[in-house]
Amino acid sequence: MAEQAFIALGANLGDRKGNIDRAIDLLRQVDGIEVVRVSRLIETAAVGGPDGSPAYLNGAAELRTRLGAAELLENLLSIEATLGRVRHARWEPRLIDLDLLLYGNQVIEQPGLTVPHPLMHTRRFVLEPLVEIAPDVIHPILGKSMRQLLANLS
């Protein structure tokens, strides 16, 4: 049975839109993943990274997947690597960033995998695109819709 999952899409280096489009194309090629819907992309200032980091393009995508959460995350990381992402420091500029936000209504805490994404409810650049495609999806820990979480941000 397929599970609904949501991912964040981001890029602030190189051809930002092209990198996100290629990531979505690669997701569509993975057996067991269907890309249901993709938000529009929004430009946002870099958050938490080094001073002077370039602006991001951010979006969100809804997936239907037969993969477990850990296997889905492995595929996201593999796509990042395929597109040239190299990890050096937290919140550094990146060619592509694919974050698993929600996996059904599951709460998962494993080494290297925390779902729901622990910071998603604090980040406008995550919630705005998510609200566009899934305003009524409920955060499984906070019990609030994505629309309510966005409205609660100052």
What is the set of active-site residues?
85, 94, 97, 99
- CA separation for the pair 36, 62 (Å, rounded): 5
- CA separation for the pair 64, 152 (Å, rounded): 28
- CA separation for the pair 5, 57 (Å, rounded): 21
Instruction: List the structure tokens of 68.
Output: 């477990």
Element (H, E) at 61: strand 56-65
Environment class of 145 (CB within 10 Å of its CB; exposed 0-12, middle 13-18, buried 19+):
middle
